[in-house]
Amino acid sequence: MSGGGAARTARGAARPAEAGPGRGTFALLSVGTGLAVASNYYMQPLLGSIGRDLDLPEGRAGLLVTVAQTAYAAALLFVLPLGDRLERRRLVSTLAWACAASLALMASARSWPVLLLGAGLVGLCSVVTQVMVPYAASLAAPERRGRVVGTVMAGLLCGILAARTAAGALAQWGGWPTVYWCAAALLAAFALAAGRLLPPYREREAPGYLELVGSVFTLLAREPVLRLRAAYGALSFGAFSALWTSLSFLLSGPPHHYSPGAIGLFGLAGLAGALAAARAGRLADRGRGQAVTGLSAVLLLVVWLPLALGERVPWVLAAGIVLLDLGAQALHITNQSEIYRLAPAARSRLTSAYMTAYFLAGAVASALSSLAWTHLGWGGVCLVGGAFGAGATVLWALSSRRAPRQRRAAGGA
C-alpha cells in the first residue's frame, strides 16, 4: 500500500466497515455507551443518602442533578460536534478517561463544593455516550447499520435504567461513595480497552469547529420538524426529570423510610415501561408517528394522577413510574425517528440540537422539582411534572390542527 493510501485509511477515508469490524467492536461500544450514560443517573436514588451524609438540605442535594444535566447540555452543544472533526477512537478514549476521573472525584468528595464540581464534570464528560452512537453507525456496513445502532442504543437504554438499581444495591452494601468508586473503575477499564481495541475513524472532510457549532443553530432555524421534535423532547424529559429528582426524597423519608437498595428497585419499574416503548420506532416507520406522539403526550399528563395518589401507596407509585417511562421513552424514540430523516450527513449535529434542548429542560425541571419538594412536598412535584405533560399535550393538539391546513395548502399549490 502506498503512503498516501495508508494515510487515507488511518483517517477513515476508506470506510472502516470494509475492513469488517466484528461483533466484539460493537459489543464494546454498547457496553461503553451504557457505562457512560449511567454516570449521570447513579445519583438519583442516592440523593437522600448524600444529603444526610454531608448534612445538606434536600433541595440543595437535588441541585446536583440540575448541575449534571446543565453540564451535559453544554457538552452536547460544544463538545459533541467534535465527533464530526476529530479522530473518534481517540476522542472516545479521552472522554472516557476524563469521565472516570470525574467519578473518582465524586467518590472522594466530602464537601458540597467538591461534590458540585464532580457532578458538573461527570455531566460534561459523559457526553462520550453521544459520540459513540454515530461512531458505531459510521463503522457499520450500510446493510447492517440499523442493527448496529440498535445494539448500541440498547446498551444506552440498559445503562440509564440499570444505573438506579445498581446504585441502590451498592450503596446498601458499602455506602454511596462505593457506587462512584466502582463506576470509575469500570469506565477506566472501558477507556483502556477502547484505546487499544476500537478501529480508528475520521471523516474525510470536516468543517472548522466554529462552523460545526454554528451549523447546529442553522439546522434549528432551517428545519421546523427539528424545532417541533426538540420541543417535544424537552417537555417529555422535563416530566421525567421532575419525577426522578425528588422520588428519592419521598421514598427515603416518612412514611416509607426505604433503604437505597429498595429505592433503586423502583428503577426496574421504569425498565418495564421503557422496554414496552421499544415498538414506538416501528410505528413511526409505518407513518404513525403523530398518533404515537399524541398518545405519549396525553400519557405524560394523566400519569401524574396515579403518581400523586401513590405518595402513600407504593404499588400505585410503581404503576405510575411504568406509565411515565413508557410515555417519555415512546416520545423520545419517535422524535429521533423523525429528525434522523432530515439530513443523514449531519446526524451528529441533529443530535446535538435535539439533545441540548432535551437536557436543558431536564435541568430546569430538576431545579423546579427540588424547589417544589422543599416548599410544597410531593404534591408540588406532581404539579411541576404535570405542567410539562400539559405542555406536550397542548403542543401536540396545536401541531395536529396545523398539519391538515399545511397539507391542503400544499395540495392547492
Residues 156 and 214 in one domain: no
Q: Which of 171, 206, 241 is the last residue of a domain?
A: 206
Confidence (pLDDT) at 62: 76
User: How far is residue 156's CA from residue 29's CA, in Å, rounded to a whole number?
Assistant: 10
User: How far is residue 270's CA from residue 196's CA, in Å, rounded to a whole number?
Assistant: 35
**Domain contains 369:** yes
Residues 285 and 346 in one domain: yes
**Domain contains 9:** no
Q: Which of 181, 206, 231 is the last residue of a domain?
A: 206
Q: Which of 175, 206, 237 is the last residue of a domain?
A: 206
Confidence (pLDDT) at 150: 61
Confidence (pLDDT) at 7: 39
In angstroms, the Cα distances linking 413 to 206, 360, 395, 410 are 38, 39, 27, 5
164-181: burial string, b at 16+ Cβ within 10 Å, e else = bbbbbbbbbeebbbebbb
Confidence (pLDDT) at 16: 42
Residues 301 and 355 in one domain: yes
**Domain contains 1:** no
Residues 269 and 310 in one domain: yes
Residues 105 and 138 in one domain: yes
**Domain contains 101:** yes
Residues 105 and 36 in one domain: yes
Confidence (pLDDT) at 83: 81
Task: Provide the residue range defining the domain that includes 98.
Answer: 22-206
- pTM for the model: 0.74
User: How far is residue 37's CA from residue 33's CA, in Å, rounded to a whole number?
Assistant: 6
Confidence (pLDDT) at 412: 44
User: How far is residue 298's CA from residue 240's CA, in Å, rounded to a whole number?
Assistant: 14
**Domain contains 108:** yes
Confidence (pLDDT) at 145: 63
Residues 156 and 275 in one domain: no
Q: What is the DSSP letter of 351?
A: H
Question: Based on the structure, what is the number of domains in the chain?
Answer: 2
Q: Render each residue's pLDDT in the chain as its tens digit; 413 residues.
A: 334 443 333 344 434 434 457 778 889 999 999 999 999 889 878 888 888 888 887 667 778 888 998 899 899 889 988 887 889 899 999 999 999 999 999 999 988 899 999 999 999 999 999 889 878 877 877 766 656 766 776 677 778 778 888 888 898 888 999 999 999 999 999 999 999 999 998 876 667 778 888 888 899 999 999 999 999 999 999 999 999 888 988 988 888 888 877 887 787 777 676 666 666 656 666 677 788 899 999 999 999 999 999 998 989 999 999 899 888 888 887 887 788 778 766 777 888 889 889 888 988 998 899 899 999 999 999 999 999 999 999 999 998 876 555 444 434 43
**Domain contains 161:** yes
Residues 131 and 273 in one domain: no
> First-to-last CA distance in the chain?
56
Residues 149 and 58 in one domain: yes
Dihedral pair phi/psi, residue 63, rounded to 5° = -70, -15
Check which CATH number belongs to the domain holding 167 and give it. Answer: 1.20.1250.20
Sign of CA dihedral 37, 42, 44, 50: negative
Residues 249 and 171 in one domain: no
User: How far is residue 105's CA from residue 108's CA, in Å, rounded to a whole number?
Assistant: 5
User: How far is residue 302's CA from residue 386's CA, in Å, rounded to a whole number?
Assistant: 8
**Domain contains 2:** no
**Domain contains 105:** yes
Residues 359 and 289 in one domain: yes
Given a contact cutoff of 8 angstroms between Cβ atoms, the answer to whether 334 and 230 are in contact is no
Residues 327 and 229 in one domain: yes
How many Cα atoms occupy the beta-carbon half-sphere of 255 within 13 Å?
5
H-only helix segments in 277-346 = 280-285, 289-302, 304-309, 314-339
